[in-house]
Structure 1
């Protein structure tokens, strides 16, 4: 963007904390700061801590204020502010994690108990992992890992086995003041000040390091270094969070996005003020909820936010802690089995299935027998060309095992040329017998490849490719060699008879390979439902009804392997791709997830597998657990969903017991719903572990991909929420 007059503010920050500041004034309907109003409720989101290089730009001007016990205007109309600083100096310490809890009061009770048992400095802190809404009970601090390991050994001896070490970064105290450069004048800022960046008008927006946000910014110093806090309306915040947590592109079902909107709104309300001592409510990472500003917004998810405006989830009149997980693997888990603490009545294990699940059968009238050529099923190429309309179909399908005529080949090639975007009237060959030599000449002439042969195909390559075909001479050698090299003619012809008649399936294989190399002719979408001779698909956030041809070729693809079918049963949500001819679908391919009826079956993480050598896993575990060299891992207990809730790590110097959510972090896995297989070396020791599992996340609360599956099956967002959160009500905020 070019500015006629660049208003430029350069602010240099070097190692300093801001404290204090004037709070924003709140009116009846909104929060005001010198004429700029944000409708209530207002949320404060940290956009990063201990920031070093900050670039704040306004779409149409901004005011900059310095605020401490009073305020002063730094600039009335600025377009750009750059804050550059080295950031606070980081050092590190070690703590011992004793337990986790979902609620602060539970964590405080646990801390009191541990103080009595250990006599050390036990305290409660926010867990920095992605376990949203979890508090950690910690013991420390320790200056070295060795000191922490010694303490862990002491705790193990006292019967506390489920403890581990965590390294933390801390900030050293600042020593130097802040200086601000405005134009060519240098001045310092007051030590207790904050900077407010206020858009010049309600339609303007601010950007931080090229990422745009609604609302306004406050730049302040905290115990976590220099922080930019985004003040904005809760509903505007959700317009970014909802698509960030559940992509409308991949999971474009409105009712699922509505469920996500209500869950995210409830989570934000319940956890408002969680980081109040640092001057903000939530962070912009999955530690709270993923928030990346206006770039994430999408019309479909914005509609979901607007159509559920103000709605939250209540249990006995209070907002719930609306935990959600990406993929539950078929069943969610009781909260207390994953996070320590008391049972939560609305976070109970539920099956990720839908009793009202619909099924739609789709049939193809014409069975497709396999035609194998050099180990490849040529029927796939035949179906591709039928779908594109290259192969004409009459009342009776042609026999694709039989030979093709010269005129038939020319007609197919002409249609392929048209689809490839070549001009009409430039291909009019003289009639001849159709063998592989003449087919090669036809293809080279039809698609204009003679220059490729003359300039790119070496004489030595021609001799190599045709060394077993001495009967091919003169002008026929180049085209035939090029078609062999390009995979257009079966390899078996090189050691056979190149002058035999070309079969229809062999011709289809050649043209299929050519057209696939030109462009992707397939349309793609998500299957929604089926009617009589029709299917409904979701495509680019719209719905389309497609007519099915009487000559439909129906395919199923599972893990990359495609086979023909005469009947398929779909549940909704399957990815499909198709080809249309004359306004009807003649080729329909269903990309199946693993055969299952669970609602999150479409997730790539519904099933997964991870392999680690004993040495690799032992190195990971040795950072947190004082067990020596890893010997084995043993599952001791599972929860309602089958998730591992107690795991013993066996080592050469002792054992450690890991519980709940920490198992996932300790092993570096996507979820704790897994089984373990082992491979052994010649001495009988475990050499390699294979973890076969399901799910992604902690497995508690709303299953996001399951919500999508339920929405595709026809469920409304309130039904989705009441399925995954037991005994709740959905009501609108006053």
Structure 2
């Protein structure tokens, strides 16, 4: 009797579907080669041309003139609607003399209502005004795929490296490599079956057909790569979400000859060139699993970063899917680990920077000096002498005797006084320092120190404070022996993951200085800190353990989706640019005011543009970010200036549509110790994880 696991594996293998991925629909030619050589075949499998290993051939569609445009412009009336409401709106438009169509929104189970067919957006303006007059407010000029029948009376050719032109079937060709891969120049390497055939617009469509699990190996790293998010449980959640999306959308683009595109319009797919070992493991360990609700695969939407909280699908793609409800990206009780330093001064430390931190961590500056009142007093040679001697000794230099000018003395103690006459010139010091320039004999060295940014001009006019002098000493040391600062992410078990590497222990000295780095680069020494899991840590490595540990306070606070570099952003919008977008997409040519409606999480759910007549033009969901050219709808605006020279400064968070799984938040949850199923059930409420075919 066969084991149950074997029977399950066999059943799962039999149920794994094939998926057809559209790699391109725009080119008129492709240069291809086949791993290990192989054949070009007809779509029916008849051999047409044999290729040797490494041999390239150009597949060329002779369109005999310009190819048809692939896009047209139409007016979308209202947002995504349930079928009954869409049908009612269509009847209203028909009564106005229009011939509307409806297009299903797979991501919402809703419908968009479209009217008109135009080659240029400006041609839609009369229809926009007509619909506006009858009270329809949410209007948008959308770009749609132009329908058409496949062209006839054209010819497909293969052009060899010997410039032989070989006729091919006008229906298209299949690439049959002897190895595993078909290679498309400028695109990449692909497993499975690859076909090239003409499309309705007189261009070539390239389709890669392969089994779903192999397809995911090229999707997961491009959607959530292991280099950016090296947490297995997060990658497993992405694998299930991507598998579910693909399975639920098989046939989505069947009229184009494939299921899904290889872009963000569906899921980014990189073929063989996208595969990574950790994401392969994530696909393998979740093999066959999809997310279901009510026994059906869900529309597993996801985005890069939701800016603190996701949003109900009804505000973006329409529909009332109960599993696509907004959730928070803030943990009720974030996991923290406590670190304790050896000493910390009382009060604030505005003078503190990497230069002084390094000096103190090395022992060159005693902890007794690290007090703000002491550091604010004018520097004295007696205070600096131990630090200068310690750095000079480390560099194998004999320190110079103390001198009146402390800046020059410190520089000469580390060897910078050995200037070359003619290379450093006195007149440069006069140019840079004016009447603050030192005596002529010292001017070449002074010019060097100012030019390198080691000792700025202000320090030559008045005696430097102890903090300023130590900063200069630290910069001199950095010039000769740059600090090897390491940086990594704090993990739940107390280890750190250095970027580009795996987890490892954080080796700290028995006594170490502890500091916090705030946004903007200010530091303070602390006796203890509760570092949140996922915080960035920096340290100075040393044989006996790091003598300095710095915790970076994240600009996005404690949010689980704070790890994306685009987690928050700033954009400036000029009135002329906004008017241009409004004219192109909504036929609006004047602005009297912009009005925003925010939800409780700071996400804009509606933008109202009032024109010169104070008429409202309403935009919701994806139309808001597309109109304003923003990464996300979590933002606030500051208005500066007067028309027509107004500017809007926009401060925002997140990147994407905000619906479904937050990829960065999934990484944050994984760092906090959550397994992939918990991550999925957080972002997709009420789902079950089910093997395909069961």
**Alignment-derived partner of residue 485 in structure 2:** 522
SS of residue matched to 1:589: strand
Alignment check: 8 A CA contact 1:371 1:379 kept = no
Deviation at 1:271, TM superposition (A): 0.7
For the residues of structure 1 that align with 2:134 and 2:312, how far apart are their CA atoms?
Answer: 29
Alignment check: 8 A CA contact 2:483 2:540 kept = no
SS of residue matched to 1:55: strand
Higher mean alpha-carbon deviation, 691-700 vs 715-724, is at 691-700
**Alignment-derived partner of residue 16 in structure 1:** none
Name the count of aligned residue pairs. Answer: 665
**Alignment-derived partner of residue 682 in structure 2:** 723
Cα deviations by residue, 1:143-179 (Å, 9 ceiling, x for unpaired): 5545422112222223322122235575995664333
Matched, 1:561 2:522: yes
SS of residue matched to 2:268: coil
**Alignment-derived partner of residue 22 in structure 1:** none
Deviation at 1:215, TM superposition (A): 2.2
Deviation at 1:321, TM superposition (A): 0.4
In structure 1, which of residues 627, 647, 652 is the aligned counterpart of residue 588 of structure 2?
A: 627
Cα deviations by residue, 1:635-673 (Å, 9 ceiling, x for unpaired): 3x5556453333322112543222333222222222223
Matched, 1:95 2:74: yes
CA distance change for structure 1 residues 708 and 133 in 2, over 3 Å: closer, same or farther? farther
Under a length normalisation based on structure 2, what TM-score does the superposition of the two structures give? 0.85
**Alignment-derived partner of residue 254 in structure 1:** 232
For the residues of structure 2 that align with 1:51 and 1:368, how far apart are their CA atoms?
Answer: 66
Counting only pairs closer than 5 Å after superposition, residues 94-493 of structure 1 correspond to structure 2 as: 94-99=73-78, 101=80, 106=82, 109=84, 111-119=86-94, 120-125=98-103, 136-143=112-119, 145=121, 147-167=123-143, 170=146, 176-182=154-160, 183=162, 185-191=164-170, 193-202=171-180, 204=181, 206-209=183-186, 211-224=188-201, 225-340=203-318, 342-355=319-332, 357-368=334-345, 377=351, 380-387=354-361, 389=362, 391=364, 403-404=382-383, 409-415=388-394, 417=395, 427-428=397-398, 432-436=401-405, 440=408, 443=411, 446=414, 450=418, 453-464=420-431, 468=435, 472=439, 474=441, 476-489=442-455, 491-492=457-458
In structure 2, which of residues 654, 658, 676 is the aligned counterpart of residue 695 of structure 1?
A: 654
For the residues of structure 1 that align with 2:325 and 2:254, how far apart are their CA atoms?
Answer: 30
For the residues of structure 2 that align with 1:237 and 1:133, how far apart are their CA atoms?
Answer: 25
In structure 1, which of residues 611, 632, 646 is the aligned counterpart of residue 606 of structure 2?
A: 646
Alignment check: 8 A CA contact 2:573 2:628 kept = no
Deviation at 1:495, TM superposition (A): 3.4
CA distance change for structure 1 residues 143 and 57 in 2, over 3 Å: closer, same or farther? closer
**Alignment-derived partner of residue 542 in structure 2:** 581
CA distance change for structure 1 residues 267 and 162 in 2, over 3 Å: closer, same or farther? same
SS of residue matched to 1:624: helix
Higher mean alpha-carbon deviation, 350-359 vs 509-518, is at 509-518
Alignment check: 8 A CA contact 2:428 2:444 kept = no
For the residues of structure 1 that align with 2:18 and 2:281, how far apart are their CA atoms?
Answer: 20
Alignment check: 8 A CA contact 1:324 1:700 kept = yes
Alignment check: 8 A CA contact 1:349 1:640 kept = no
Higher mean alpha-carbon deviation, 687-696 vs 724-733, is at 687-696
Unaligned runs of 5+ in 2: 1-9
For the residues of structure 2 that align with 1:597 and 1:471, how far apart are their CA atoms?
Answer: 51
Under a length normalisation based on structure 1, what TM-score does the superposition of the two structures give? 0.80
Alignment check: 8 A CA contact 2:197 2:206 kept = yes
For the residues of structure 1 that align with 2:624 and 2:584, how far apart are their CA atoms?
Answer: 14
For the residues of structure 1 that align with 2:405 and 2:174, how far apart are their CA atoms?
Answer: 76
For the residues of structure 1 that align with 2:68 and 2:481, how far apart are their CA atoms?
Answer: 55
Deviation at 1:272, TM superposition (A): 1.2
Unaligned runs of 5+ in 1: 1-26, 32-38, 418-423
In structure 2, which of residues 619, 626, 631 is the aligned counterpart of residue 665 of structure 1?
A: 626
CA distance change for structure 1 residues 266 and 588 in 2, over 3 Å: closer, same or farther? same
CA distance change for structure 1 residues 449 and 262 in 2, over 3 Å: closer, same or farther? farther
For the residues of structure 2 that align with 1:506 and 1:305, how far apart are their CA atoms?
Answer: 56
Deviation at 1:126, TM superposition (A): 7.1
